Amino acid sequence: MDIAERIKADPAHWRLANAIRALSMDAVQAANSGHPGMPMGMADVATVLFRNHLKFDASSPHWFDRDRFVLSAGHGSMLIYSLLYLTGYEQMTIEQIRNFRQWGSITAGHPEYGHAEGVETTTGPLGQGIATSVGMAIAEEALRAQFGKDLCDHRTWVIAGDGCLMEGISQEAIGLAGMQKLGRLIVLWDHNDITIDGRVSLSDRTDQLKRFEASGWRTLSCDGHDPADIDRALADAASGKDDRPVLVACKTIIGYGAPNKSDSAGVHGSPLGAEEIEAARKALGWTAPAFTIPEDILADWRAIGARGGAARDAWNARVDAAPNRDEFARRISGEVSEKLAPAIAALKEQALTAKPKVATRKASEMVLEVINPELPETLGGSADLTGSNNTRTKDLGIFSPEDRKGRYIHYGIREHGMAAAMNGIWLHGGFRPYGGTFMCFTDYARGAMRLSALMGLPVTYVMTHDSIGLGEDGPTHQPVEHLAICRATPNTLMLRPCDLIETAEAWEIALSSASTPTVMALSRQNLPLLRAEAGENLTAKGAYILRESGKKEPSVILMASGSEVEIAIAARDALEAQGVPTRVVSVPSMELFRDQPETYRKKVLPKGAVRIAIEAGVRQPWDWLLLGERGKAKKAGFIGMTGFGASAPAPTLYKEFGIAPEAVIDEALRLLG
């Protein structure tokens, strides 16, 4: 059927869908950049989804029990902006559509979480949306198990393209979702057979249905330009026929409606041009001026936007009547539990007495043993390193198809998928996720960790084995540059505690965060308790005087983090014994120290002393602390790594790489002249 026949067969659908096409063409053309092909190709599927299936209320974007809609193929952002405008999201005015991709608008080139209401997650880096949606679906299952179907009962819908499905992260997402039987997760695959370089067959010949089935998904197909066929497929997908997640292959034509450019890579990422837009308008029978939606069509779309009002009212009434409504409200608000601070304080006091010598990964477990029973919102996990990351505590239970109340997730060997799922869990609401792997494998999770930071999601990465202290596993498993990487990333809180008390404080900070992810770098090896008092959360200052010099004005200031603080203290004691006044500054977080008032920073790091930093990583992030931001520093030295690690027992490595008290003492004496 050609497009004219299709329109004739179901005009009620096509006027709605073509409104998306028109807005998408116009906005991309006005911006002189953007991606018209995908919104035009998926306009029909999206129209049927919003018209007949998606549970939402445009007047209440934050209604908790709404279905989540994730545009994993984020370059097609005009699809979602069109839908938000058409269905009547208040923020999404026609002015915003006109200002697509312009400074200050909420209509960024790719959908950005926190810009426009209705955008559930930031997408654009391919595969992130589908992997994030797995977390949303996990959270929905878990919260439903805890609070019941009356309060939590919705689906997660995803639109994903070939790019999303080619990215490796998609396999991690598909495998996890299939294993977890996330039956309310529905992925609509924009099967248009085009990538930027040309036909998909240039780079892939995967039978996607077979691939999804292999990982336990149910698969359906439809003609993505036949509204009745789409409706049939979506209804089937949403039927809850069984507990498998569902892939719907929607056979589409990219840029559908653009008579000369559709079905080609050329329509993917460039404006159509005035001439082709004119031809498309003709083909679509669209006569309204640019950025103008005829009133009757807009009215129909607005009615779709209001469709969910009754369901929302009913949900509100059920929440009001629920006995546990206050706890539910607290949980979905994301606010910090009042039980956190006292639990941390008590643990710190105990630590001061017991003085345990434990690895900070073990210290982290000791904190979690105290926290998890008090905070039902924690949802832990590990990428198949549970025993090494010490992330699982007693009585958490295992989240699985058989036990949705379990609060520990075996993410499998899927660091990237885990990070994205954690983003989705927080975005959904109701939980504070944390998940572990080795610090070195932040490499595998970087794509999603950056989105945690960009979106401002307070998820916690429990990254253990944070240096050459990992020992025999060798350089592939030993982070060297990774502390620098996390510190270089905006809105990322890197915490590297030196003992149990700092670890407890680090967890207090992480679980109190509102809009910043935390990366906790934890040691494999045992570390002594170094703190002598447990009152104030000193870790929150980022850096503080842990050992004062014998004389009030130190000649030497030793700065260190994590497992190297112990070395700094040993060097300090030796220097003091030689009559060199030496201060030790513990630096669990550079970010938090940078945020302190200048008076405090000057007090901790006064002028005039030799400064030496000690950390089993590269020097790059230390320079500003060593040298002062404006170049006011005195002599400075660094004891750390300049290359990759090696395979040997940890004590040997510290000795061979010269990260030891003796090296610190030598450097201090050398710099003092």
Q: How far is the CB of 409 from its own copies (least distance, A)?
A: 9
Q: How far is the CB of 595 from its own copies (least distance, A)?
A: 12
Instruction: Answer for the pair 493, 519: CB distance below 8 angstroms, yes or no.
Output: yes
Output 226 or 667, the one with its CB closest to its own copies. 667
Q: How far is CA 460 from the centre of its chain?
A: 10
Q: DSSP 3-state assignment of 33?
A: coil
Instruction: State the residue for tokens 């498998």.
Output: 244
268 is in an annotated binding site: yes
192 is in an annotated binding site: yes
361 is in an annotated binding site: yes
Percent helix, strand and coil across the chain, each rounded to 5?
Answer: 50, 15, 40
- End-to-end Cα separation, the chain, in angstroms: 87
Output 289 or 631, the one with its CB closest to its own copies. 631
126 is in an annotated binding site: yes
Mention every residue, 6+ apart, whose C-beta is less than 8 A from residue 77: 34, 35, 71, 107, 108, 109, 110, 111
Q: How far is the CB of 315 from its own copies (least distance, A)?
A: 33
473 is in an annotated binding site: yes
Output 428 or 450, the one with its CB closest to its own copies. 450
Do strands 194-195 and 198-199 pair parallel, antiparallel, or not at all (unpaired)? antiparallel
Locate 623 and state its tokens: 């320079």
Q: How far is the CB of 653 from its own copies (least distance, A)?
A: 7
Output 77 or 503, the one with its CB closest to its own copies. 77
163 is in an annotated binding site: yes
Output 314 or 672, the one with its CB closest to its own copies. 672
Q: How far is the CB of 352 from its own copies (least distance, A)?
A: 33
Distance separating alpha carbons of residues 577 and 580, to the nearest angstrom: 7
Give the neighbor-by-neighbor strand order of the sheet with 610-614. Answer: 544-547, 582-586, 556-560, 610-614, 636-639
Catalytic, 415? Answer yes
243 is in an annotated binding site: no
Catalytically annotated residue among 140, 415, 566, 591: 415
Distance separating alpha carbons of residues 509 and 332, to the nearest angstrom: 20
Q: DSSP 3-state assignment of 274?
A: helix
Output 166 or 341, the one with its CB closest to its own copies. 166
Distance separating alpha carbons of residues 392 and 376, to the nearest angstrom: 14
CA distances to 54, 166, 442 from 177, in Å: 20, 17, 22
By CB neighbour count within 10 A (0-12 exposed, 13-18 middle, 19+ buried), where does 104 fall?
exposed
194 is in an annotated binding site: yes
Q: How far is the CB of 436 from its own copies (least distance, A)?
A: 11
Output 278 or 629, the one with its CB closest to its own copies. 629
Q: How far is the CB of 453 from its own copies (least distance, A)?
A: 8
**Angle at CA of residue 429, ends 423 and 430, nearest 5°:** 120
* Binding region for thiamine diphosphate: 75, 124-126, 163, 192, 268, 441
Bind-site residues for substrate: 35, 268, 361, 388, 465, 473, 477, 524
Residues classed as catalytic: 415
Q: What residues are designated binding site?
A: 35, 75, 124-126, 162-163, 192, 194, 268, 361, 388, 441, 465, 473, 477, 524
Binding residues for Mg(2+): 162, 192, 194
